A and B are shown apart, each in its own frame.
Chain A
């Protein structure tokens, strides 16, 4: 621990937030399996989903170590009540049509690229190592989802309309990614966390450039939603968890 005053439960929560984001988005992408627009995209979405699951696993394992109560990745991923999941609302939003899935991915990846890049300089060696590995993965997610959004935005009238609708639908969930609360500030002061608020300019530049190539209009900042970081979710999370946790809840305490 770089700072003796930092309570383990504070860092634990911070790492959980990160882990939950990747798990829930990975779970959403898993829902696409067998239903994608093309066979090639079937494989691409699964690749992204597998990257995110891998990141989630490393983060949960580390969170379990920090907590020091013997909980492993599965205990944390499967056996918490809804209010203890700390993911951003963006990642729990339903897949919708392919445009919604792609816009959600662009928003997420455009944030995670500068986030992981900054995290590689964290004073926490484990997080810095996870960041270095994850950065390469999300750079590809950004490339893949951006190129799709460009094709959908500048494709047919229908695809343009669907992409613009998807942008409007998800726009208000993006701002939560940049929120810094007392917990995040405390960890930032210790040199561990990333200043998420400071990543907004890069996110804007990335997203604006994609929207321009996609011939799409940047929505107005007329509304925003947050609450995920303190466990106040949309109704969608409960349904995700009822599938995610089904086996562990139905057959408690068994090995699989």
Chain B
């Protein structure tokens, strides 16, 4: 018989001050305290961490991959948002 599932958590670690927290992997834990300890024990064994976030995987709201086009394609045509869209003579120097 398969036993009751222990919740899945996502782990984010700030490797050094000045960097943002980055997703490093997941783990199973019954609650926040155990998730925090497991994150420390599993993902910071080689001095990888200065700060840890753990988030219940079920609490993450993700965009729907079938709506990828609606969500992200319209921005593709807005090339005027990028600096290379504008022509500035080289003589002006770096801008």
Residues of A near any B CB (own CB < 8 A): 38-40, 43-44, 47, 140, 143-144, 147, 151
Determine which of B28, B30, B40, B41 lies in contact with A151 in the assembled complex, contact meaning CB atoms within 8 Å. Answer: B30
Q: Quick one: closest A residue to B35, CB to CB? A: A40
Q: 23 pairs across A/B with beta carbons < 8 Å?
A: A38-B6, A38-B28, A39-B28, A40-B27, A40-B28, A40-B29, A40-B38, A40-B41, A40-B42, A43-B38, A43-B42, A43-B45, A44-B37, A44-B38, A44-B41, A47-B45, A140-B40, A143-B37, A147-B33, A147-B34, A147-B37, A151-B30, A151-B34
Residues of A within 8 A of B37 (CB): 44, 143-144, 147
Count of inter-chain pairs, beta carbons less than 8 A: 27
Residues of A within 8 A of B30 (CB): 151
Would you give the shortest CB distance from B6 to chain A, in whole angstroms? 8
Would you give the shortest CB distance from B44 to chain A, in whole angstroms? 10
Residues of A within 8 A of B40 (CB): 140
Chain B interface, number of residues (Cβ within 8 angstroms): 13
Residues of B within 8 A of A44 (CB): 37-38, 41
Would you give the shortest CB distance from A141 to chain B, in whole angstroms? 11
Residues of B within 8 A of A140 (CB): 40
Would you give the shortest CB distance from A146 to chain B, in whole angstroms? 10
Q: Which of B30, B41, B42 has the most CB of A within 10 A?
A: B41
Taking a contact as CB atoms under 8 Å apart, the answer to whether B41 and A47 are in contact is yes
Q: Quick one: closest A residue to B33, CB to CB? A: A147
Q: Quick one: closest B residue to A150, CB to CB? A: B33
Would you give the shortest CB distance from B43 to chain A, in whole angstroms? 10
Residues of B within 8 A of A147 (CB): 33-34, 37
Q: Quick one: closest B residue to A38, CB to CB? A: B28
Q: Quick one: closest A residue to B44, CB to CB? A: A47
Residues of B within 8 A of A143 (CB): 37
Top 9 A-B residue pairs of the complex, sorted by shortest distance between their CB atoms: A40-B38, A44-B41, A43-B41, A47-B41, A43-B42, A147-B33, A40-B27, A144-B37, A40-B42
Tell me the residues in window 1-51 of chain B with beta carbons closer than 8 Å to chain A beta carbons: 6, 27-30, 33-34, 37-38, 40-42, 45
A190 to B65 Cα, complex, angstroms: 71
A140 to B40 Cα, complex, angstroms: 10
Residues of B within 8 A of A40 (CB): 27-29, 34, 38, 41-42
A44 to B45 Cα, complex, angstroms: 10
Would you give the shortest CB distance from A144 to chain B, in whole angstroms? 6
A240 to B45 Cα, complex, angstroms: 28
A43 to B6 Cα, complex, angstroms: 17
A144 to B39 Cα, complex, angstroms: 12
A140 to B37 Cα, complex, angstroms: 9
Would you give the shortest CB distance from B45 to chain A, in whole angstroms? 7
Q: Quick one: closest A residue to B9, CB to CB? A: A40
Would you give the shortest CB distance from A76 to chain B, in whole angstroms? 28
A38 to B27 Cα, complex, angstroms: 11
